[in-house]
Structure 1
Amino acid sequence: MTNCNTPFITCVDLGGTKLAIANIANGEIIKSHTVPIDASLSKDDFNAFLFNNLTPFVTKACRGICIGVPGLVESGTGFVIEVLNIKHWQNVALKTLLEARFTRPVLVHNDANCFTYGIYKSKDYQGYENLVGVTLGTGLGAGLILNGRLYTGKQSAAGEFGSFPYLDGIIEDYCSSQFFKKQGLDGAATYQQAQAGDNSALAVFAELGKHLGHALVQVVQAFNPEKVVFGGAIAKSAPLFIDVLQQTLLKQLPQSIYNALQIHYTQDTNTALFGAYQLFLDEVATGE
């Protein structure tokens, strides 16, 4: 049971196409809001958009803010270095700006790290100390849990295999919504067609699974995780590509590594928000 005086954390999941905000208290969402973003806004206008959407959430009982952003973040300082899908929103002292505006402690992470930590802390994955979280949406993001700890690297980019060279571009070109655009397809429409049994649409998702399999081979070989968990907008289509993905892994991985690996997916759209909540509790609240 919560009331207006119950302390909460304001958690933010900033994606390539939408902004999701939730106040979370005692592990429960007590208020939430999702709004599309305009990725063409100037830096100042995007900051204003972010502030305006946060303001109704940061009320007296707010203990602090944790925000996940889809790009490179300087660990510790909360400085956003680069966000590929929001072209003008680069080199932003986000932690400094938000703390000055809202007078609350602020934690800034990469959004895929928030998702991965949300997976790691969820009841469904308790006991797994080595896992990879992969977000499939506007782009491809990834986070690492190694030996029970979130490993981020200096710029929160550890595990971001989406930018690895692949075929005529990078992995993200073939393992995100960019894959559909590259073929002149609408991802949502292709999904509906595949669900209806259209063979050409099913073949598109089979090809997606093959590309994801090739990409994951490198990650699995490098980090030897127990689990890989997919999330993001494209994860709902996982039943259409996961068998081909598994077959690709089976062909390319050593048998012992393949046998120790489990591939899962989640359609829970709040995983990154709960990951942000847990990160704030573990990295900020414990020192208050």
Structure 2
Amino acid sequence: MRTIIGVDIGGSHISAAQINWNSGSIQLSNFYEADVDTSGSVDEIIDAWSEVIKKVANGKQAIQLGIAMPGPFDYEQGISLIQEQGKLKSLYGLSVKDLLAQSISIDSEFILFMNDAEAFLRGESMVGAGKKYNNLMGLTLGTGLGSAIQVEEVVKDAKLWTAPFRDGIAEDYLGTAWFIGEAKKQYGLEIEGVRDLLAPEVDSEISRSIFQKFG
């Protein structure tokens, strides 16, 4: 029997754990996470992801991966279509499934992908806060905007990141890029991500103002 490993990949991180399903509940073990510079090369990104997954596997060879991945992405084939979201550009058009399979030394048939927001909502509907409800909406805020909806038994990506909003689309304002642009435009502050706003050397009034505007 293969060990199931759940993986969450974002624009700046990876989290993974062994998944144990038992009578309607889930237990996690061997949890690991790491920051990842997704502006790096193909090898740098794949190596960083593989390192965390191997730690979670803890020497086990018979593993199966379920990976929550941001879009746009060909989830069935495992090919990245992310091009203009400020992350993972080097993987555009490549088979992430094959690259990971080779790096981890498993067959690609044991790697499955799902939209990250859809995976999040499926988890909440099965064992989380949405367990008692038939109709749900899930939103994830991170490097970008993730969204999913559930109607009865059907869960799917809502793709709200492309929704027209103000002078562009929703993700222009509801993601890391907005924080970087706002800090530069309003305060001349150079940051690489939201976490930088919490650094001791950043004026707390500036941070508070930016977060209030975002909210």
Shared fold, TM over 0.5: yes
Q: Tell me, yes or no, if the aligned pair for 2:198 and 2:207 is still in contact at 8 Å.
A: yes
Following superposition, the deviation at residue 122 of structure 1 comes to: 2.3
1:137 aligns with 2:131: no
Shift of 1:206: 4.8
The alpha-carbon distance between structure 1 residues 77 and 98, as it changes in their structure 2 partners (threshold 3 A), is same
Counterpart code for 1:128: Y
Of the three residues 109, 119, 124, the one matched with 1:119 is 124
More divergent stretch after superposition (16-25 vs 41-50): 41-50
Mark the runs of 5 or more structure 2 residues left unpaired by the alignment.
Answer: 184-188
Amino acid at match of 1:127: K
For the residue of structure 2 that corresponds to 1:67, the secondary structure is strand
Partner AA of 1:86 in structure 2: L
The answer as to whether partners of 2:61 and 2:106 remain within 8 angstroms in 1 is no
Deviates more, 1:70-79 or 1:14-23: 70-79
Under a length normalisation based on structure 1, what TM-score does the superposition of the two structures give?
Answer: 0.58
Number of the residue aligned with 1:89 = 91
Distance 1:60 1:201, change over 3 A: closer
Q: Deviations over 1:36-77 (max 9, x none)?
A: 101222223322332333233344374411111122222422
The Cα offsets for residues 62-119 of structure 1, whole Å up to 9 and x where unpaired, read as 4411111122222422322226322212122233444453136111112111111112
Aligned counterpart in structure 1 of residue 15 of structure 2, from 16, 20, 24: 20
CA distance, structure 2, for counterparts of residue 189 and residue 97 of structure 1 = 31
Structure 1 residue 204 displacement after superposition: 4.6
How many Å separate the matches in 2 of 1:113 and 1:8? 22
2: CA distance, partners of 1:92 / 1:55: 22
2:196 and 2:43 map into 1 onto residues whose CA distance is 35
Amino acid of the structure 2 residue aligned with 1:72 = P
| Larger proportion of helix | 1
Matched residue, 2:178: 179
Per-residue CA deviations over 1:7-46 (Å, capped at 9, x if unaligned) read 5311111111111111112321110111110122222332
Q: 1:107 aligns with which of 109, 112, 136?
A: 112
Q: 1:169 to 1:122 in 2, by over 3 A?
A: same
Listed one character per residue, the Cα deviations across residues 121-145 of structure 1 (whole Å, up to 9, x for unaligned) are 1243223122111111111111221
Give me the CA root mean square deviation.
3.0
- Higher relative CO (Cα under 8 Å, sequence separation at least 6) belongs to 1
Q: Distance in 1 between matches of 2:62 and 2:171?
A: 36
Could you say if the C-alpha distance between residues 44 and 131 of structure 1 is closer, same or farther in structure 2, counting changes exceeding 3 Å? Answer: same
Gaps of 5+ in 1: 1-5, 152-157, 210-288
Map 1:204-215 onto structure 2 (within 5 A).
204-209=210-215
